[in-house]
Amino acid sequence: MRSWRSAILAVGLLIAGAAGIYAWNLSRTFDTQTIKIPEAFPTDESSRPPVVLPVPEAEAEAEATKAQNILLLGSDTRGSNSKSIADLSGQRSDTIMVMHIPANRKNIYVMSILRDSWLDIPGHGQAKINAALSFGGVPLAVQTIEGLLGVRMDHVAIIDFQGFKDVTDALGGIDVDNPIGFASSSIRGHYFAPGIQSVNGAEALAFVRERYAFRDGDFQRARNQQQFIKALLSKSLSAETLMNPAKVSRLIGAVAPHLAVDEGLDSAYVAGLAVELRDVRVGDVTLFTMPTNGTGTSPDGQSIVNIDWTALTAVQQGFQTDTLDAYQPEVQTIG
């Protein structure tokens, strides 16, 4: 009997040890291969919105949590200029999204901000929002978004578009629900039919980049990127992926080299957030585009996107009070 129990204990220790080594390897991969953004946030605290503390009811809980806002910037430039994705001063962000994770951890909200949105950039006057990265790097991009929404960004992540390709291939391809059929401008002779499309890495990259094929350009591009993210989450959160250690390792290994993050967005933070969001499914993820009044022309002749400042008030309130569940987004187009 003693030897039987000892054998069971030994097997249990081996399994626990293997699991611990696996988790350690994943953490090490993420922390060593992601690129760190040395100064991701504005140094002048007075220029930033206040920290939103948990409501009194949450403070009474054993472990209070607060809503999290993560600025996601996509760049298609590192491949052409060989610069570090962590230092994109002088470059413009191709994709801007803000992820809001509510304090109750029951949902995820992702808002796309069109890169040609016209607004005041601190210290530089009026310009397209993606110029903030060019004018002052990541800190100014953060300051601009914080000023736009009136809420503090807790973390920042920049992804090189090449990462979309590698992650898709690491998952063995994904199925995207394509709302509008179009001929790709980057893959000669390739047509993305409407409906469910099984795409590989190269096709995924072409899908999220495309804007020339659409009458409303970046508006449809943003919607397609949202569809891609939804498909990516669906495949990543599936039992087929999560129960396959080799696939999870390939996934982390594929995305990490193409990701630049602030110092606090490390494997411990990601793992903790994953546990907190363990009950969230793809149906609990809402993706939408910031309200606009279509396109126009700036005083200096640039083609721009006009922000709908009246409709934006409800979005700002949702971010600031952690009540985005009450916001009803509308489809944005050139009007």
pLDDT one-digit tens code per residue, 13-44:
333 433 444 455 678 888 899 999 988 999 99
Whether 102 and 321 have beta carbons less than 8 Å apart is answered as no
What is d(CA 229, CA 219) in angstroms, rounded to the nearest whole number?
Answer: 16
What is d(CA 133, CA 158) in angstroms, rounded to the nearest whole number?
Answer: 11
Least confident of 56-60, 147-151, 171-175, 205-209: 56-60
Prediction pTM value: 0.88
Whether residue 206 is contained in a domain is answered as yes
Specify the pLDDT at position 230: 92
Specify the pLDDT at position 219: 95
Q: What is the crossing angle of helices 162-170 and 218-236, to 10°?
A: 30
Whether residue 73 is contained in a domain is answered as yes
Whether residue 322 is contained in a domain is answered as yes
> Domain range holding 158?
34-326
Specify the pLDDT at position 8: 46
Whether residue 27 is contained in a domain is answered as no
Whether 84 and 257 have beta carbons less than 8 Å apart is answered as no
What is d(CA 159, CA 74) in angstroms, rounded to the nearest whole number?
Answer: 5
Q: What is the crossing angle of helices 2-33 and 245-255, to 10°?
A: 20
Specify the pLDDT at position 303: 94
Confidence of residue 263 (pLDDT cuts 50, 70, 90): very high
DSSP 8-state class, residue 159: E
Whether residue 29 is contained in a domain is answered as no
Whether residue 18 is contained in a domain is answered as no
Specify the pLDDT at position 79: 43
Specify the pLDDT at position 10: 43
Specify the pLDDT at position 3: 52
- 163 has pLDDT over 60: yes
Whether 199 and 173 have beta carbons less than 8 Å apart is answered as yes
Q: What secondary structure does DSSP assign to 202-225, as a single string?
A: HHHHHHHH--TTSTTTHHHHHHHH
Non-local (6+) Cβ contacts of 53 within 8 A are: 59, 66
CA atoms within 13 A on the CB side of 34: 26
Non-local (6+) Cβ contacts of 133 within 8 A are: 73, 88, 89, 91, 92, 93, 140, 141
Whether residue 14 is contained in a domain is answered as no
Specify the pLDDT at position 62: 36
Specify the pLDDT at position 55: 52
Comparing CA positions, the residue from 168, 162, 176 lying closest to residue 226 is: 176
- 80 has pLDDT over 60: no
Tell me the two tokens of residue 57: 């009811």
Specify the pLDDT at position 241: 81
Give the tens place of pLDDT for each residue, 83-123: 665 565 556 678 999 999 999 999 999 999 999 999 999 99
Specify the pLDDT at position 127: 96
Whether residue 292 is contained in a domain is answered as yes
Specify the pLDDT at position 258: 87
Non-local (6+) Cβ contacts of 224 within 8 A are: 178, 179, 207, 208, 210
Q: What is the CATH number of the domain that holds 116?
A: 3.40.630.190
- 64 has pLDDT over 60: no
Specify the pLDDT at position 18: 39
Q: Is the dihedral of CA 302, 305, 309, 313 positive or negative?
A: negative
What ranges in the chain are assigned the alpha helix state H? 2-33, 56-59, 78-81, 131-149, 162-170, 201-209, 218-236, 239-242, 245-255, 267-276, 309-321
Find the distance separating the first CA and the last CA of the chain, reported in whole Å: 77
Amino acid at 177: D
Percent of the chain at pLDDT exceeding 70: 83
Give the tens place of pLDDT for each residue, 266-319: 988 888 888 888 888 889 999 999 999 999 999 999 999 999 999 999 999 999
Specify the pLDDT at position 61: 47
Specify the pLDDT at position 295: 95
Q: For residues 120-133, give the mean pLDDT.
A: 95
What is the residue-averaged pLDDT of the chain? 85
Non-local (6+) Cβ contacts of 205 within 8 A are: 161, 162, 164, 165, 168, 186
Specify the pLDDT at position 13: 38
Specify the pLDDT at position 312: 97
Please state the domain count of the chain: 1
CB burial of residue 199 (10 Å; 0-12, 13-18, 19+)? buried
